[in-house]
Structure 1
Amino acid sequence: MAGSFSLRIVTPERTVFTGDTESLRAPGSEGSFGVLARHAPMVAALGVGSVEFQSGGDNRSMATSGGFVEVSSEGTTILAETAEFGDEINVERAQASRDRALERLQAAETDRARAQASLSRAINRLSVGAS
């Protein structure tokens, strides 16, 4: 049995989740990584993507966009710029964000990096919101 560990997911606005989890998968800035109970201590940059974890036998996922993950002997903390469970995502608003980002990418005078980041966030929110 792998066991469980404490997980806290917080944003600047609120505490999104606090509880025990059996496993965690997060989108690191250098690629996806997993955490199980008794994981070695670490700090990693969080990228845009879906954080997935098991809690009480249920699989949960949320859209996140940047931040940090800290794993310690006391548990795991995710400090995210944004974090939304699928049922919290306004799909119409996410679609509008995606469409605006695509339009900005087509414009000649645009900050392509910012437009691409906006597009990535919108696609991630749509992916999690649709599940």
Structure 2
Amino acid sequence: MAEAFKFELVSPERLLVSEEVQSVVIPGAEGEMTVLAKHAPVMTTIKPGVVTVKSASGQEERYVVFGGFADILPSGCTLLAESATSVKDIDRAELTRRIQEAREDVADAKDDEAKTRAEAFLAQLTTLEGALLPA
């Protein structure tokens, strides 16, 4: 069995996870990262995606996050999400609303840099929608 470490997933609304886990897969800005015990220190931004948590008992839970950052240390990992919810609780209407807002942000962008950022966020959301809620 893999060595356990402390993982916390925090959103502005609540603490979603605070437990000993075997591994965590996070959607880092530069790509997915798997965090294990004694991981080298890293701080990364988080893009919209799915966090997969494998508990010390071996059970997996999945959470949808919308941005934030993760602080990874050899002793544990804390993910501070802009917004987070369990995949079991995901609401298709909420995801559709976020996608529509992102489309409006693209249309309302004042300059090329803002438009590029808005298009990237929209692409992340639509990818997430495809991964979570297949038609």
Unaligned runs of 5+ in 1: none
- Equivalent position SS for 2:67: strand
Partners of 2:80 and 2:20 lie apart in 1 by 17
Gapped regions of structure 2 (runs ≥ 5): 110-114
Q: Could you list the structure 1 runs, at least 4 aligned residues long, displaced by more than 6 angstroms after superposition.
A: none
CA RMSD of aligned residues (A): 2.5
Letter in 2 for 1:124: L
Please, which moves more after superposition, 116-125 or 84-93?
A: 116-125
2:29, 2:122 → 1: CA distance? 16
CA distance in 1, matches of 2:27, 2:8: 16
Larger strand percent: 1
Corresponding letter in the other structure for 1:51: V
Identity, % of aligned pairs?
Answer: 27
Displacement of 1:123 in angstroms is 4.8
Q: Distance in 1 between matches of 2:124 and 2:71?
A: 24
TM-score by length of 2: 0.76
In the other structure, the counterpart of 1:89 is: 90
Count of aligned positions: 127
* Alignment match, 1:53: 53
Structure 1 match to 2:128: 124
Query: Which residue does 1:34 correspond to in 2?
Result: 34
Q: What is the alpha-carbon distance in structure 1 between the residues aligned to residue 90 and residue 13 of structure 2?
A: 16
Residue aligning to 2:15: 15
**Are 1:24 and 2:24 counterparts?**
yes
Report the AA paired with residue 58 of structure 2. Answer: G
Question: Do the aligned partners of residues 126 and 81 (structure 1) sit closer, same or farther apart at CA in structure 2, a change above 3 Å counting?
Answer: farther
